[in-house]
Amino acid sequence: GNSVTQMEGPVTLSEEAFLTINCTYTATGYPSLFWYVQYPGEGLQLLLKATKADDKGSNKGFEATYRKETTSFHLEKGSVQVSDSAVYFCALNQGSSNTGKLIFGQGTTLQVKP
């Protein structure tokens, strides 16, 4: 079945460090890929997405490129801030489905220290 695997956390970085959170997926067909973020005390919110191979999603300085050949969608940011501290979830939406039913990874906690 379809699944998403993320690197285990927590990830602890100093402010202005480079961030990579790895995400790989298993799916039939051509899924859309997402990164959702959960800030402390808030609900999950969409950070970025990509709908087809080689697409790059970007938002708030974060980027992720849909790599079909490696079935990956790694999240990157060049310079993290304390305010980026949150839990990050990689997810997929089966491309043939119009329901918005998502499969999530287990989440990666990021802690950024000043």
Smallest separation (angstroms) from another protein to the CB of 77: 20
* CA dist., res. 85 & res. 112, Å (int): 6
Considering the complex, state which of residue 70 and residue 98 has its C-beta at the smaller distance from another protein: 98
Considering the complex, state which of residue 96 and residue 114 has its C-beta at the smaller distance from another protein: 96
* CA dist., res. 34 & res. 50, Å (int): 7
Considering the complex, state which of residue 17 and residue 85 has its C-beta at the smaller distance from another protein: 85
* CA dist., res. 105 & res. 54, Å (int): 21
Considering the complex, state which of residue 29 and residue 114 has its C-beta at the smaller distance from another protein: 29
Smallest separation (angstroms) from another protein to the CB of 2: 11
Q: Which amino acid is at 105?
A: G
The CA-atom distances, in angstroms, between 102 and each of 2, 20, 47, 83 are 10, 22, 14, 26
Are 22 and 43 in contact, with CB atoms under 8 Å apart? no
Residues engaged in binding another protein (CB under 8 A): 4, 32, 34, 41-46, 49, 89, 91, 93, 98-107
Smallest separation (angstroms) from another protein to the CB of 47: 11
